[in-house]
Amino acid sequence: MKALQLTAWQQGPELVDVPEPEPGPGEVVIKVGGAGACHSDLHVMEWPPGLLDWKLPFTLGHETAGWVHAIGSGVDGLREGDAVLVYGPWGDGRCRTCRLGSENYCEHASELGAAGGGLGRDGGMAEYMLVPRARWLVPIGDLDPVEAAPLADAGLTPYHAIKRSLHLLGPGSTVVVIGVGGLGHAAIQLVKALSPARVVAVDLAEAKLDLARRLGADLALPSDDEAVGTIRGYTGGRGAEVVLDLVGSDPTLALGAKVASVNGHLTVVGLGGGRLEFSFFALPYECSVATTYWGSVTELMEVVELARLGKLVIQTHRFPLSEATAAYQRMREGSLEGRAVIVP
């Protein structure tokens, strides 16, 4: 079968021929319906050799959904043809955080040699994907796997970031969403589905601001010199209780620090590599800054429920496997609205 693999660090991926996987004990092979192309793949491709102990090559694609194709011995509760979504961050399954369902924060992550399928192990940009543990599969019922695939990261990651701050989001509160890409366009819908907070979306591209308005943002602003003043005015001078920075560059972190409120949360999800200078007066009093990474498997089940209710709809653009590199190029240029899904 064909697979889009990362074969060398700091190079683009290659479409190669690999054998079809067969499930061993405890494993499941899925027929891939779709695999989302994520901005973090672009960062992974740019990382220098030796930064991570992941072995090359591996198949890209850490947002994958499809149908159960073959089931290894010892796996129960699944039937061939079941539609499933693959939970992305693969932990050891034994430590305390993994047993709480938060394999994204596995206590032994640094010893595992990979972060998940498409992140050091073979992912979903191929006709079939081997899932080494059945616990990483979440049933999606009658959702279309192509539409559902991005829920695994573009849905789950902002969902977790919002849920950890939900106690701040009462009536009259505001969430600033910086970056209306794959995660950002989901974040707008998720804030609206989970809370009465108002959403201010910020992006450089007018087309993405239009998308933000269509998805329910109360205000959509270009990321320019006026953004801070406008957001401060919109919030009566108070600032936003929650800022979700889905970019993570120097300017977006600086913007986030200027528009967050006293007691607020500035949550950095984007891998933009920016720095935020810290001093006593850098942030409003008692404003916390945190990074987040994916979410738990039970949160992914909740995200699937929201999608089944029609409260979270990922805007998808389908690309065949042979055009996956074009999809990444469009993402690099910033000319994609929503999520590219590779359909093998």
Q: Which is nearer to ligand FEH, 66 or 120 (CB)?
A: 120
Q: Tell which residue, 30, 61, 185, 183, has the closest CA to residue 125.
A: 61
Q: Which is nearer to ligand FEH, 153 or 245 (CB)?
A: 153
Distances (CA, A) of 172 to 168, 258, 292: 10, 19, 25
Q: Which is nearer to ligand FEH, 90 or 294 (CB)?
A: 294
Cβ at position 44, least distance to ligand FEH in Å: 6
Using CA atoms, how far apart are residues 166 and 193, in angstroms rounded to an integer? Answer: 12
Structure tokens at 270: 């984007």
Using CA atoms, how far apart are residues 12 and 86, in angstroms rounded to an integer? Answer: 24
Binding mask 140-159 for Zn ion (x = CB under 5 A): -------------x------
Q: Which is nearer to Zn ion, 90 or 234 (CB)?
A: 90
Cβ at position 184, least distance to ligand FEH in Å: 13
Cβ at position 104, least distance to ligand FEH in Å: 8
- Written as one string, the DSSP assignment of 63-113 is SEEEEEEEE-TT--S--TT-EEEE-SB---S-SHHHHTT-GGG-TTGGGSS
Helix axes 156-163, 182-194, angle to 10 degrees: 40
Q: Which is nearer to ligand FEH, 61 or 239 (CB)?
A: 61
Q: Applying CB under 5 A, does 40 fall inside the site for Zn ion?
A: yes
Q: Which residue is nearest to ligand FEH (CB)?
A: 40
Q: Which is nearer to Zn ion, 43 or 55 (CB)?
A: 43
Structure tokens at 245: 């920075």
Q: Which is nearer to Zn ion, 231 or 341 (CB)?
A: 341
Cβ at position 76, least distance to Zn ion in Å: 30
Q: Tell which residue, 149, 115, 121, 143, has the closest CA to residue 35.
A: 149
Using CA atoms, how far apart are residues 57 and 126, in angstroms rounded to an integer? Answer: 13
Q: Applying CB under 5 A, does 42 fall inside the site for Zn ion?
A: no
Q: Please, are residues 161 and 269 in contact by the beta-carbon 8 Å criterion?
A: yes
* Partner in contact with 67, chosen from ligand FEH, Zn ion, none, beta carbon below 5 to 8 Å by kind: none
Give the side-chain half-sphere CA count within 13 A for 308. 11
How is residue 290 annotated by DSSP?
Answer: E
Question: What torsion do the CA atoms of 134, 190, 320, 69 make, to the nearest 10 degrees?
Answer: 20
Phi, psi of 295, rounded to the nearest 5 degrees: -160, -170
User: For residues 22-81, which are near ligand FEH according to CB under 6 A?
Assistant: 38, 40
* Partner in contact with 271, chosen from Zn ion, ligand FEH, none, beta carbon below 5 to 8 Å by kind: ligand FEH
* Partner in contact with 9, chosen from Zn ion, ligand FEH, none, beta carbon below 5 to 8 Å by kind: none
Q: Applying CB under 6 A, does 157 fall inside the site for ligand FEH?
A: yes
Q: Which of 294, 300, 304, 340 binds ligand FEH (CB under 6 A)?
A: 294
Q: Which is nearer to ligand FEH, 4 or 68 (CB)?
A: 4
Q: Tell which residue, 320, 309, 265, 308, has the closest CA to residue 287.
A: 265
Q: Please, are residues 129 and 136 in contact by the beta-carbon 8 Å criterion?
A: no
Cβ at position 239, least distance to ligand FEH in Å: 26
Q: Which of 30, 32, 38, 300 binds Zn ion (CB under 5 A)?
A: 38
User: For residues 239-258, which are near Zn ion according to CB under 5 A?
Assistant: none
Q: Applying CB under 6 A, does 271 fall inside the site for ligand FEH?
A: yes
Q: Applying CB under 6 A, does 119 fall inside the site for ligand FEH?
A: yes
Q: Which residues bind ligand FEH (CB under 6 A)?
A: 38, 40, 115, 119, 153, 157, 271, 293-294
Q: Which residues bind Zn ion (CB under 5 A)?
A: 38, 40, 153
